[in-house]
């Protein structure tokens, strides 16, 4: 009986090729994200990579969030919030809105 039921199951979809846009961004691409909606015009995230986060005074209209390695973060999205991702030494590795 189980064999007959198994024959009625739909076939799993064939794997599809992933488009380039669906691929995860590399560090170089992440560093160049558009920050115009969440950072002051004077803040250049790309130029600030590697800077200790305590030396960065930029804050977005909805505040800023420093994200440290292994830290849990909420999934809420605030378009005007500046997110600063740092490494274990506290140096900026990525900046993005949300």
**Tens of pLDDT along 25-46?**
444 445 558 888 898 888 887 7
**pTM of this structure:** 0.65
Q: How many independent structural domains does the chain possess?
A: 1
Q: Does residue 65 belong to any structural domain of this protein?
A: yes
Domain span at 49: 33-98
pLDDT value at position 41?
A: 84
In a domain, 85, yes or no: yes
Q: Is residue 24 part of a domain?
A: no
Position 4 in a domain: no
Q: What is the mean pLDDT of each run of 10 residues along the chain (98 residues)?
A: 60 54 44 80 84 90 94 94 95 94
Does 7 reside within a domain?
A: no
Query: Rounded to whole angstroms, how far apart are CA atoms 92 and 98?
Result: 16
CATH code: domain of residue 76: 3.30.10.10
The sign of the torsion formed by the CA atoms of 67, 73, 78, 79 equals: positive
């Amino acid at each position: 009986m189980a064999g007959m039921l198994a024959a009625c199951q739909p076939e799993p979809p064939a794997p599809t090729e992933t488009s380039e846009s669906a691929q995860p961004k590399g560090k170089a691409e992440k560093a160049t994200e558009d920050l115009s909606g969440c950072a002051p015009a004077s803040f250049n995230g790309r130029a600030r990579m590697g800077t200790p986060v305590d030396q960065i005074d930029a804050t977005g209209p909805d505040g800023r969030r420093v994200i440290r390695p292994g830290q849990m973060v909420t999934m809420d999205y605030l378009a005007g919030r500046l997110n600063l991702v740092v490494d274990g030494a506290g140096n900026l590795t990525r900046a993005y809105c949300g």
